[in-house]
Structures are given as structure tokens and as C-alpha cells.
Amino acid sequence: MKFLTRTARVYIIIFTLAILYYFHETIIAVASIKEIIPPTYDAKISESKFVEIVSSTDVDGPFDTTPLKELCSKKVPTPGLVFTCNKANGGIGNVRNQLLGCIRYAIEAGGGLVMPRPVVRAKNLIKTGTGITTDFEYFFDKKHFISVVKEACPNLKIYESEEGLNRLPDVLYPQTLGGEIVMGQIISEPEWWRERFDVWLSNQTRTIGMPTEQDPLLIEFDQTLLLRQPVNADGAQFRDTFGRILQHRTDIRQLAATTLYQLAQQFQIPLDPTASIHAEGYFGAHLRTEADALRAFGDADFNTQSDQYIEQARSANLSVLYVATGSPDELAKMAVKAWSQAGLNVTSKYQLLPPADAMYLKNMSWDQQALVDYEILLKASSFGGFVKSTFAWNIALRRHIVSKVDDPYPGNICFLDEFSHIYGEHDYKRRKNPWTATIPYAMWP
């Protein structure tokens, strides 16, 4: 620039600075754009490949069995001791946590386990304790469960059935061995449970003798296993990974992945199949207004829940609402309301699945169909649920594993982190209602 006069050079510098100042926000945005763009992938990926990746990707990453291995290795085996977990009932939120509670007690006692059989809910959804049990594969991946147990907890011997096992006449109420009951139902001394159980077992078998590998003894747990154990007792790592032993059936996970693929196609949303939680993708809502909810909870009304979900989706700048509900009428009402009030699109699994897949799903029970919703809501960009639903709590707590929010129970808010919001009156601090009060302390994520 030596051929320019000094005055000209000054003008050029001033002009350049003015340009930089005027466009500084744009320049900063471009410089930081890598931080806000969702993970990229091949937009031309085939449906089959998309489904394969999604159905094998979990919200909290690969399953780390190390905490389970470490816990199991510390428990002294009781040869010939076998437990049965055949009283888990209700929807998937209840069944999952009851089974995990039963399995955790079996590990603590050093015993084995008959392959669990959940109780089937009545078709009217209201009666849960039908007494009719079904195969483990009704909900879960049996091959996955057995593989994990053999590899991480070999002392937890799995029996296919109760055939050939002598049954102890008395049912075991495990919470009676856990010390003082706090918050209405949680045991306060899990560290002393094994010692008290050994005394109980010795007394129960005084006349028949202790179990052996050659003469095993079957013990049945009482069904009150929901929200009874302090899930933090074994540390955060165990708490956050233990539930992974129960993985939903492969066909369910594939149906959920197919639904997500169709959602991405129909609404032109660039969903990354490798993502645990989809950035800027879709809002997930659990509209809990079915017959059993209305009967059990008088405040499970449509207007309140729909208002909350529409506002949350709008605040998150998400234009597509994936709604999980067992009521087609409520779904239709939600679609009309969301579009008329906020210009938001509402969709669901049956609106997205291809006809053959939809028919396959319809041949399943109501609770089995809900598993597809469960998988899709787990990966939603933002999720909203109702306080008196273990289904919604399961999803929110599982998503919270990857959250950066330390305390998701701020002030008078029921549950809130960057991924999920549970609406309703919180009770875990006032502790008037044991059922809702105990969830943050006693539900396995």
C-alpha cells in the first residue's frame, strides 16, 4: 500500500472497521455455528440403515455393565436359593420398576431367579391385578437379559420355569427387612437387608433345611416392590445403568425407529439416527387422559395438559408434536387445538407407520403398543409429561442421565431439566402423598 497516500490508507482502515462493526453479529454467528448445528449424517441414508442405527442407539449411550459386575461380585451366593418375580403389574412404568426391584433383592440375597412373568392388564385398562401372567418377552428382550446376567452377574442363576423347585409356603415381604420405613414406603437401611434376610431364611427353613444346589428352594416376593428401594444406595453409576438390563423387544425398537424415519421424511426434519436426543427435531408429549388415569387421578384433564405441552413446544421452537396417548379422540382434539392456537403439527405412531407395520402393531396389546411411544419420547428434543404417570417419570429420569442440570426439582416445579418437564403438583418435599413423593428417590431410571 506504499503507493497510497497516508490519508487514503486511513480511510481504508476506517471503512474496514465500519464493515466489521456493522456485520460483527453475523461474523460471530458464523464463527460459532458449529456449536449449534445438530450432528450431521448422510441425508441419503436408506430407511433400513436408519432403522438399524436408531434401534441400536440408546439415549444414554452404550451399556456399561461395570457397576453391575462390581455389585454382584461383592454378594455372597446362597446355593439353591431361587426367587420368583411374577407379580409385576400395570403399565410399563410400573412393571419395569417392580421387576428391577425384585431383581435387585435377588442379587442382594445371593440367589437365583426364575424368568420373570409380568401380569397382563385387563382390556379396560383399569384392573391391573388380573393374576394372569405372560412371558418375559411380552415387554422385554429375553436374549439381552440373559446375556447381561450371565456376563455381569453369573451368580444370579436364571431358571426357565418353576418346575422341580420346592416352594416356601410363606411369601417374603422384603420391605420388612429394610429397617424403618420412610416417606410411607421406602426402606431406610438397605445395607442391613442381607443380614436380616439370612436370619429370616434360617428361621423359615428350620424344619426343612437350608436350600442346596441339589434341593433348591423357591421364594416368592410380595407384589409391593414399586418405589420401595432407595435407588441411590448403590451409587449414581449403578442407579443410572441398572435399568438397562431390561431392554424392550427388538421388534418394538425397530417399529419405533421406523416411525422416526417416517416422521423425518413427512415433516422434513433432519433427524440424525446416531443421536441420543434429537436436537431441534420434535416435541414429545405424553397425554395422560385415558380411562385408568381419569379413574385414578381426577386432575388428569385434557385442557390443562394440552395447554402445557403446546406452550412448551412453542417455547422450544418445535413445530411438530409427537403425541403418545391411548385415546384417538383426545389425539384428534390435540391436533385441532395445536394447529388452531399455535400452528403446530400433531402426529402419532399410527399416522406415521406404513400400513403393514401399523397392522402388526395393532395386533399387540395396549401396553405393548405404548412401548413404541416410550422409545420415541426418550429421544425427543423436548418432552412433557404428567406428574401422576410412572410412564412419564421413567422417560424423564432416563433422559436426565445425560442432563447437565444438577437439581431438576427447583422451587415449586415438579421436574425440569433442559430435556424434560413433568407437570403437576410436586409432593416429594411436603411428602403428603407417598406415591408421588417417593418417585425421585425410589424409581429406577
Of 65, 151, 56, 72, the C-alpha closest to 108 is 72
Q: What is the pLDDT of residue 411?
A: 79
Q: Bridge-partner residues for 219, per DSSP?
A: 83
- Nearest-angstrom CA–CA distance, 372 and 119: 20
- Mean pLDDT of successive 10-residue stretches along the chain, which has 445 residues: 44 39 31 33 81 96 97 97 92 95 97 95 67 93 98 96 92 93 90 97 93 95 85 97 98 98 96 94 90 56 93 97 93 96 97 97 95 98 94 97 93 91 74 71 94
Q: What is the pLDDT of residue 70?
A: 98
- Nearest-angstrom CA–CA distance, 262 and 268: 9
Reduce the secondary structure of 377-433 to three states and give it as a string: HHCCCEEEEECCCHHHHHHHHHHHCCCCCCCCCCCCCCEECCCEEEECCCCCCCCCC
C-alpha cell at 85: 418375580
- Nearest-angstrom CA–CA distance, 121 and 98: 15
**Residue 338 burial (CB count, 10 A):** 24
Q: What is the pLDDT of residue 347?
A: 98
Q: What is the pLDDT of residue 288?
A: 83
- Nearest-angstrom CA–CA distance, 260 and 267: 11
Of 71, 253, 221, 218, the C-alpha closest to 144 is 253
pLDDT tens digits, 336-354: 999 999 999 999 999 999 9
pLDDT tens digits, 116-157: 999 998 776 655 667 789 999 999 999 999 999 999 999 999
Contacts of 106 (CB under 8 A, 6+ apart): 83, 85, 112, 113, 156
- Nearest-angstrom CA–CA distance, 13 and 19: 10
- Nearest-angstrom CA–CA distance, 315 and 318: 8
Q: What is the pLDDT of residue 216?
A: 95
